Amino acid sequence: MSDENCGSGGILLAFLAGGLIGAGLAILYAPVSGREARERIGGMAGDLKKKTEEWSGDIKQKVEGFVEEERSVLKAAYDAGREAMSREKARFENPNPTD
């Protein structure tokens, strides 16, 4: 399951990186004045910053959810292990219980 998430995340990242590189090259090679090109690049940088903040918030929420889920799984496993250890310890302390 995590391999699928990493794969799609990698594809998304590659797609976005390609789009940004393409947009940057299009601006640099467009027949506009330097001032206008700088304004466009500044605008794109601002948009990219906003999108990055949104994505980082989404990623943070997903990671926090994943960590909480894994923490509950580990706690349940730990508790089950302690319970099994207690049962075995009691069994070995009193190997022939009298009824």
Give the model's pLDDT for residue 94.
81
Q: Specify the DSSP element, H or E, that contains 81.
A: helix 34-93
pLDDT digits (tens, 9 = 90+) for 70-89: 999 999 999 999 999 999 98
Instruction: For residue 98, name the pLDDT band (cuts at 50, 70, 90).
Output: low
pTM over 0.95: no
